[in-house]
């Protein structure tokens, strides 16, 4: 089968409807200039990496003029600005995304082709910017793309981690972590801004002065900003992601110098700079380490000083500090907190207003609440941040005082509404008194924000009914839903050019910014010609992924088999174990009757486990061990394979999503806040097997439940079972197939050289399973049998695929951001283009 190359398809896509900014010869000239003058200089020969950097700089040249123009435009118009605060941004690569959003991909492709270079080979040299763990960090990246595409005056703020999420290596069937030295060769997209370096204070003590409280004897660390351009799609808008890097002050520990220990004083500068050294690799788990607290405050303190500076200085082209009062702060500033990680922005903004700007307390607090809004991302208790008061008192003594005062006034209001309800006071307090005194950061966020949102309808309802029930009773008007979304530029146009072409041929190409137009495809769902075209693209994508897997693992997979994929962080609540139990069940069925007809499957599981999460690492080891057994059994042959995909990351996801047939979204109902991988699979033509959890519920609403394979307990069933008492043995005894699977795991069938290796996994399933795997096993297997049956009816399967693609318009992050803008931030999105730099405004 001849597979049209990605670059041929990409040329067609990026040229359609978009005028190339510069012609091919000018791109060639710019590229050669960068090779000779910027990079190679006195060397005689250029390496492939030199060519990559020359290409990145050539593309960046097209960005910079638009970037400057956009920022000037904001400065002159002085709109309300949106500040998105996140400890994580899982950006992936920037080169191809930038070319697509600027509309120059076809031109650049052609220029490099004429120079005898393969653009795809150069793209492979770019490091992923892995400054996030999973969903929360990738969501932030999609939001940045949408905020720029919708013309919002928005700024992302975060930390420039020197080491991002670890690289995962599978050695002897187990996860090993390697540091992600992503800046090793430099980052062509960032621009250091030392002129905006900002001091951040830690430790010290608080003294009373006639002018008020003063925080003194602090240790200072400087925050150095690095700006990263965020281009909107085809609108000449380029916003900024500003990431802070920790720098030691020049005189750090110079007192050592006076005692002669100059070398030690210099070495100790590392201690300050460690703040931005490494991303904490936990997803949905709180680890109360002081360094993490310092990271969180470092980002908030630097960002808020920057926000206040810009608020004071930005007014219709005037260069003096034109604003000296703060009553208009909420008309000019919206701060969105991505989970509780930036919660210290609330007491920090309060501190700046009352201690430094001398705003009266009540006025200052009202300003804080009007500016701030909080997005909750999880209901898992182990993920909620609860900082020990003793640690806060040591690291941030003034903030601890302010939190106590906020709590005092807040509890007075609660007492006024519910006199004598002491249990409610305890539940609603920002300070948890049981055991070690702790600050509940989620409660702080709710009290200090004017809007609180969950990230899917079911999740927002659960928040109001459980975690924040008391707060919802007090302030029902604060609570909203904003169902997550994904950017269709990266997750369809960039990663699946073949499908993008097909869609544009049918409905035009406005869907890239108005994804709801995909519903226009519904009329072709039963059309045999369109079905064939959709399946041809899917087959091409499967062949590409199959060759990538064979290259990386040596395992040859059957590209005609169903690609059954579960890629996400490894966590008990996501139930990768349920998937593995199904694989073992299929294996046992083949062994019982090797001649029985079955739809061949390649099951792929991928994802990282937090380094300290023992059971998650065991799940990876079990997947690898089961894969070893299944993949090498001659009775099985091509019918079944289990592949563990090493080092799952954004760039690998861009290859997987277009090639998947079946998407596994099988978390216990009520545990996955939303999920966004589910949306990427749906948009790229995979069918979903899933529980009624997170955004799966809304996907089923949009496409119709008959177009997904929904199974398992609903939230109310889970609650009823937990109330009744879950006994795994009931299910174990009742189902012989299940019993066989667990006994094989327990007895060492998959680990003959170490028979006890997975006994703990079996023990968890039978005795300590918070996520009720066995209760959903029977329905899951039945749903999987239905999947197999439908897969063997290609017309029916493809009709469902097209219905899913056509129903995925709601799940664009453009829709999500438009809702945040109108309903939380008080700004209006625009689809108008800014003039290009070479046009007269």
* Lowest mean per-residue pLDDT among 38-42, 174-178, 298-302, 352-356: 38-42
Residue 19 has pLDDT above 50, yes or no: no
Residue with tokens 């060759």: 547
Residue with tokens 């460690």: 274
CA–CA separation, 307 and 311 (whole Å): 6
Catalytic option among 341, 542, 569, 773: 569
Catalytic option among 398, 568, 601, 746: 568
11 carries an active-site annotation: no
Three-state SS for 185-244 is CCCCCCEECHHHCEEEEECCEEEEECCEEEEECCEEEEEEEEEEEEECCCCCCEEEEEEE
CB 224 within 8 A of CB 197: yes
Residue 40's pLDDT band, with cuts at 50, 70 and 90, is: low
In whole angstroms, how far apart are CA 586 and each of 560, 580, 589, 742? 18, 10, 5, 14
In whole angstroms, how far apart are CA 416 and each of 404, 428, 473, 568, 639? 18, 13, 14, 46, 67
> What residue spans of 124-169 are helical by DSSP H?
135-149
Which run of H or of E encompasses 789?
helix 773-791
Catalytic option among 160, 310, 542, 574: 574
CA–CA separation, 16 and 540 (whole Å): 22
Q: pLDDT tens for residues 153-191?
A: 999 999 999 999 999 999 999 999 999 999 999 999 999
Query: For 683-690, what is the mean pLDDT?
Result: 98
Query: For 24-33, what is the mean pLDDT?
Result: 94
CA–CA separation, 182 and 130 (whole Å): 8
Q: Which of 676, 686, 608, 520 is nearest to 145 (CA)?
A: 676
pLDDT given at position 257: 54
Which run of H or of E encompasses 564?
strand 562-567
**Residue 699 neighbours by CB distance under 10 Å:** 29
Q: pLDDT tens for residues 722-753?
A: 999 999 999 999 999 999 999 999 999 999 99
Q: pLDDT tens for residues 599-638?
A: 999 999 999 999 999 999 999 999 999 999 999 999 999 9
Residue 8 has pLDDT above 60, yes or no: no
Strands 167-171 and 89-92, by their bridges, are unpaired
**Residue 571 neighbours by CB distance under 10 Å:** 24
Residue 319 has pLDDT above 60, yes or no: no
- What percent of the chain shows pLDDT beyond 70? 94
Residue 253 has pLDDT above 70, yes or no: no
426 vs 15, more confident: 426
Catalytic option among 70, 375, 676, 798: 676
Q: pLDDT tens for residues 76-127?
A: 899 999 999 999 999 999 999 999 999 999 999 999 999 999 999 999 999 9
Residue with tokens 């200052």: 364
Catalytic option among 81, 377, 482, 757: 377
The per-residue DSSP string of 706-725 comes to GGSEE-S--HHHHHHHHHH-
377 carries an active-site annotation: yes
pLDDT given at position 315: 62
pLDDT given at position 836: 87
Residue 841 has pLDDT above 70, yes or no: no
Residue 562 has pLDDT above 60, yes or no: yes
Residue 37 has pLDDT above 90, yes or no: no
What angle in degrees, to the nearest 10, is found between the helix axes of 794-806 and 528-553? 90
Q: pLDDT tens for residues 115-164?
A: 999 999 999 999 999 999 999 999 999 999 999 999 999 999 999 999 99
Q: Show Cβ contacts of residue 425 under 8 Å, excluding neighbours closer than 6 positions.
A: 411, 414, 415, 418
1 vs 839, more confident: 839
CA–CA separation, 257 and 247 (whole Å): 19
Residue 56 has pLDDT above 50, yes or no: yes
Q: Which of 191, 31, 221 is nearest to 109 (CA)?
A: 31
Q: Show Cβ contacts of residue 409 under 8 Å, excluding neighbours closer than 6 positions.
A: 365
DSSP state of 354: I
Q: What is the mean pLDDT of the chain?
A: 94
CB 665 within 8 A of CB 709: no
Residue 44 has pLDDT above 90, yes or no: no
In whole angstroms, how far apart are CA 637 and each of 235, 457, 514, 630? 52, 44, 45, 9
Q: pLDDT tens for residues 654-663?
A: 999 999 999 9
CA–CA separation, 111 and 109 (whole Å): 6
Q: Is 271 helix (H, G, I), strand (E, B) or coil?
A: helix
568 carries an active-site annotation: yes
The token pair that represents 672 in the structure block: 């996955």
Residue 474 has pLDDT above 80, yes or no: yes
Residue 41's pLDDT band, with cuts at 50, 70 and 90, is: low
Residue 588 has pLDDT above 80, yes or no: yes
CB 344 within 8 A of CB 396: yes
786 backbone dihedrals φ, ψ, rounded to 5°: -65, -40
Query: For 231-258, what is the mean pLDDT?
Result: 86
724 carries an active-site annotation: no
Residue 16 has pLDDT above 70, yes or no: no
Residue with tokens 């990538």: 548
Residue 252's pLDDT band, with cuts at 50, 70 and 90, is: low
CA–CA separation, 822 and 835 (whole Å): 25
Residue 839 has pLDDT above 80, yes or no: no
Residue 499's pLDDT band, with cuts at 50, 70 and 90, is: very high
What angle in degrees, to the nearest 10, is found between the helix axes of 95-102 and 135-149? 20
pLDDT given at position 17: 36
pLDDT given at position 265: 80
Catalytic option among 482, 582, 680, 757: 680
768 carries an active-site annotation: no
Q: Is 378 helix (H, G, I), strand (E, B) or coil?
A: coil
The token pair that represents 725 in the structure block: 């008492």
Given 3-state DSSP classes, what are the helix, strand and coil percentages for the chain, each rounded to the nearest 5? 50, 15, 35
């Amino acid at each position: 089968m001849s597979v049209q190359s990605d670059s041929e398809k990409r040329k067609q896509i990026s040229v359609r409807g978009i005028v190339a900014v510069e012609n091919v010869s000018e791109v060639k000239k710019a590229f050669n200039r960068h090779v000779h003058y910027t990079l190679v200089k006195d060397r005689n020969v250029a390496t492939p990496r030199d060519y990559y950097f020359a290409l990145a700089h050539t593309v960046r040249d097209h960005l910079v003029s638009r970037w400057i123009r956009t920022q000037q435009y904001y400065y002159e118009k002085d709109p309300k600005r949106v500040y998105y605060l996140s400890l994580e941004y899982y950006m992936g690569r920037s080169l191809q995304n930038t070319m697509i959003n600027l509309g120059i991909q076809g031109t650049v492709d052609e220029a490099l082709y004429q120079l005898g270079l393969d653009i795809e080979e150069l793209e492979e040299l770019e490091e992923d910017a892995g400054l996030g763990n999973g969903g929360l960090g990738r969501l932030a990246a999609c939001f940045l793309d949408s905020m720029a595409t919708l013309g919002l005056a928005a700024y992302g703020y975060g930390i420039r981690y020197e080491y991002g999420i670890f690289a995962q290596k599978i050695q002897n069937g187990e996860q090993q972590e390697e540091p992600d030295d992503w800046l090793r060769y430099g980052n062509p997209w960032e621009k250091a801004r030392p002129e905006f370096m900002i001091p951040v204070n830690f430790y010290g003590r608080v003294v009373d002065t006639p002018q008020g409280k003063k925080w003194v004897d602090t240790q200072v660390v400087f925050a150095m900003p690095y700006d990263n351009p965020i281009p909107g799609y085809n609108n000449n808008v380029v916003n900024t992601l500003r990431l802070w890097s920790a720098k030691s002050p020049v005189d750090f520990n110079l007192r050592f110098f006076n005692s002669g220990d100059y070398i030690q004083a210099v070495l100790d500068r590392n201690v300050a700079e460690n703040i931005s050294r490494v991303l904490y690799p936990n997803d949905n788990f709180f680890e109360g380490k002081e360094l993490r607290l310092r990271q969180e405050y470092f980002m908030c303190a630097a960002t808020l000083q920057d926000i206040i500076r810009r608020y004071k200085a930005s007014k219709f082209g005037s260069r003096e500090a034109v604003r000296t009062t703060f009553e208009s702060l909420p008309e000019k500033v919206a701060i969105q907190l991505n989970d509780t990680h930036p919660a210290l922005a609330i007491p920090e903004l309060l501190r700046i207003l009352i201690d430094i700007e001398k705003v009266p307390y009540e006025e200052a607090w009202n300003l804080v609440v009007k500016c701030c809004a909080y997005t909750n991302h999880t209901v898992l208790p182990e993920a909620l941040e609860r900082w020990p008061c003793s640690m806060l008192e040591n690291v941030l003594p003034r903030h601890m005082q302010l939190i106590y005062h906020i709590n005092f006034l807040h509890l007075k209001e609660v007492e006024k509404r519910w006199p004598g309800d002491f249990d409610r006071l305890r539940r609603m307090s920002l300070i948890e008194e049981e055991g070690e005194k702790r600050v509940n950061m989620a409660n702080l966020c709710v009290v200090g924000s004017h809007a609180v949102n969950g990230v899917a309808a079911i999740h927002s309802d659960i928040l109001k009914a459980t975690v924040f029930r008391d707060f919802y009773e007090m302030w029902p008007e604060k609570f909203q839903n904003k169902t997550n979304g994904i950017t269709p530029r990266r997750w369809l146009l960039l990663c699946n050019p073949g499908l993008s072409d097909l869609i544009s041929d049918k409905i035009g190409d406005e869907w890239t910014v108005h994804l709801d137009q995909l519903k226009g495809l519904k009329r072709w769902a039963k059309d045999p010609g369109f079905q064939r075209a959709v399946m041809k693209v899917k087959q091409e994508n499967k062949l590409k992924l199959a060759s990538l897997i064979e290259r990386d693992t040596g395992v040859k997979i059957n590209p005609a088999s169903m690609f059954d994929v579960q890629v996400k962080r490894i966590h008990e609540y996501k139930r990768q174990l349920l998937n593995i139990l199904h694989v073992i069940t299929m294996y046992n069925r083949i062994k019982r009757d090797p001649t029985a007809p079955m739809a061949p499957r390649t099951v792929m599981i991928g994802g990282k486990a937090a380094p300290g999460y023992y059971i998650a690492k065991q799940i990876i080891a079990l997947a690898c061990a089961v894969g070893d057994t299944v993949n090498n059994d001659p009775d099985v042959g091509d019918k079944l394979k289990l592949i563990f995909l090493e080092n799952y990351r954004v760039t690998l996801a861009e290859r997987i999503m277009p090639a998947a047939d079946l998407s596994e979204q099988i978390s216990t109902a009520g545990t996955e806040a939303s999920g966004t991988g589910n949306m990427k699979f749906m948009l790229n033509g995979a069918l979903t097997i899933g529980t009624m959890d997170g955004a799966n519920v809304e996907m089923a609403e949009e496409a119709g439940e008959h177009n997904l394979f929904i199974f398992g307990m609903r939230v109310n069933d889970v609650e009823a079972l937990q109330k009744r008492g879950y006994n795994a043995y009931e299910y174990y005894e009742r189902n012989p197939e299940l019993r066989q699977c667990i006994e094989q795991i327990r007895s060492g069938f998959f680990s003959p050289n170490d028979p006890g290796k997975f006994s703990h996994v079996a023990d968890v399933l039978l005795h300590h399973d918070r996520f009720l795997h066995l209760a959903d096993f029977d329905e899951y297997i039945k749903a999987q049998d239905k999947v197999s049956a439908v897969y063997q009816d290609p017309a029916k399967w493809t009709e469902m695929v097209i219905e899913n693609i056509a129903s995925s318009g709601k799940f664009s992050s453009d829709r999500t951001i438009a809702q945040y803008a109108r309903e939380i931030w008080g700004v209006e999105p625009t689809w108008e283009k800014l003039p290009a730099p070479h046009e007269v405004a």
